[in-house]
Structure 1
Amino acid sequence: MSTATARRHSDRRISPVFLGILAVMAVSGWAVWTGFAAQPGVAVFLFVLSAWIVSLCLHEYAHARTALHSGDLSIGAKGYLTLNPLKYTHALLSIVLPVLFVIMGGLGLPGGAVFIERHRIRGRWRHSLISAAGPLTNVLFAVVCTAPFWLGALDGVPLPFVLALAFLALLQVTAAILNFLPVPGLDGYGVLEPWLPHRLRRQVEPFAPFGLLAVFALLWIPGVNAVFFDAVYALMDGLGVPREAVYCGRELFQFWKGESGFCAVPVD
């Protein structure tokens, strides 16, 4: 095997960091399912948080992998294909802040910080697809998390696990919606940007670093927050996920706030 081939395999080998996070998700998921943990909230917290980090890693991996196949061959050397969250350009934006927001309030905040050398990529459709690949991963996660609800496949599933899935689905739905907003700095704008006039793109470019902050500030406005979450819960209702299950899943996740008795939620 040549040195270049060996390096290429190394660049794409799954990171032990990611495998460790995946192991935490598997073990804590088993603990939630079996009721092994004395405190179900602790197990739910570890399961949802590790699954959320896994989804963040796969979100960034989707951007990177799509960019690789679109012409940016520098992606591998940056370590993005190893699924190691420590390799991201801005680990604070990609992992730390999204995790903190989930812990504080249960909002799937968009991450995103893989550096793609756009000049290597030809074709507007390819640029749009690279931007769309990340949030489409969140959409896929949302489909997987909600599938037991809209398929009516919850018979025999322990209630804590149902509640954990409902809350995790909320995070994925909010992340997908927020990421697809056509706001500079978010993936939704990245999908549209290649199709905009060059002059307009140049005018908007300075505002890109502040797009996420602007969205977050707007969500602090009670009226905007209410409209946003009404839309989110309407979508969750359409997917067959009861709001009570989401509320109680969040209550279990935030176990340190003190549970108001274990939520006994009837789920069809």
Structure 2
Amino acid sequence: MTMIMEWVRDVSIYAVPLLLAVISHEVAHGWVAEKLGDPTARMLGRISLNPLVHIDLLGTVIIPLVLLVTNAPFMFGWAKPVPVQFHRLRGGRRGMAWVALAGPLTNLMLAAASALVYRLILMLFASGYAVGTAAMVLRPLFLMAQFSVIFNLVLMVINLFPVPPLDGGRVLAGVLPRRLAWQLARLERYGMLIVVILLATGWWGHLLNPVVSLFARLFL
């Protein structure tokens, strides 16, 4: 029973920040889209923190569990994308760029908030206030906040990679001259293949780690 409780605690340390990060990311897309004229996400009940309406079996459950069980050096996942009808957005391509940017910016804000919690708990331990029951409660929260910082930064950086359908590709398509934006949009069918190749060859780490490490040093 003790081992089961410890396993549940350890899974929760990762699961809670992961769910909050990926769900908030998608909710932000839908919320900004609504503000710019497209209420599709609201009408479908997707502007909600209820995980049941956002869970993607592969991205929210299977892949994170596999990475956790195999002690992978990184954790990644995603929620079911919120539907956005870009032609309904005010501002045209610029509106699309703002909708795309909303997700990574939300992850940046969550990373900053988690870093604040991390530092506050660290101060409590350093000052000697976190003892006994308080220490038992604060230690999992401390680890949860630490993981939340890293995971949100990873999610932000991955999504800002400038290839559609990732958010960075949509942001770039929204600010480039129309001709270049059209040429970039043609890459969308190959976007995820490019990401898979980068992951398989290890190049993703070379692109990802320096940026994540820079923000992690700043926050932690």
Pairwise same-fold verdict (TM > 0.5): yes
Q: 2:184 aligns with which of 176, 185, 204?
A: 204
Superposed CA RMSD: 3.1
Q: Which runs of 5+ in 1 are unaligned?
A: 1-35, 241-268
Residues 98 and 198 of structure 1: is their aligned pair in 2 closer, same or farther, counting only changes over 3 Å?
farther
Q: TM-score with structure 2 length normalisation? A: 0.75
The Cα shift of 1:133 comes to: 0.9
Q: 1:147 aligns with which of 92, 116, 119?
A: 116
Equivalent runs, 1:93-132 vs 2, <5 Å: 95-96=60-61, 99-100=64-65, 102-103=67-68, 105=72, 106-109=74-77, 111=79, 113-123=81-91, 124-132=93-101
The Cα shift of 1:131 comes to: 0.8
Identity %: 27
Deviations 1:51-95 (A, max 9, x none): 31122122111111111110013332222123445545x935763
Residues 236 and 154 of structure 1: is their aligned pair in 2 closer, same or farther, counting only changes over 3 Å?
farther
Q: 2:141 aligns with which of 153, 158, 161?
A: 161
Range with greater deviation from structure 2 (231-240 or 220-229):
220-229
Residues 94 and 131 of structure 1: is their aligned pair in 2 closer, same or farther, counting only changes over 3 Å?
farther
The Cα shift of 1:125 comes to: 3.7
Q: TM-score with structure 1 length normalisation? A: 0.63
Deviations 1:73-132 (A, max 9, x none): 3332222123445545x9357634663565353323455622211111121443222111
Give the Cα–Cα distance (whole angstroms) in 1 for the partners of residues 209 and 101 of structure 2: 23
Give the Cα–Cα distance (whole angstroms) in 2 for the partners of residues 213 and 101 of structure 1: 21
Give the Cα–Cα distance (whole angstroms) in 1 for the partners of residues 147 and 38 of structure 2: 36
Say if 1:138 and 1:175, in contact at 8 Å, map to a contact too: yes
- Find the counterpart in structure 1 of residue 10 from structure 2: 44
The Cα shift of 1:138 comes to: 1.0
Q: Which runs of 5+ in 2 are unaligned?
A: none
- Find the counterpart in structure 1 of residue 30 from structure 2: 64
Residues 68 and 40 of structure 1: is their aligned pair in 2 closer, same or farther, counting only changes over 3 Å?
same
Say if 1:135 and 1:179, in contact at 8 Å, map to a contact too: yes
Say if 1:70 and 1:121, in contact at 8 Å, map to a contact too: yes
Alignment size in residue pairs: 204
Residues 148 and 54 of structure 1: is their aligned pair in 2 closer, same or farther, counting only changes over 3 Å?
closer
Deviations 1:163-208 (A, max 9, x none): 2322232111100111112121111122221222333333333432
User: 1:232 aligned to 2:197?
Assistant: no
1:208 partner letter: E
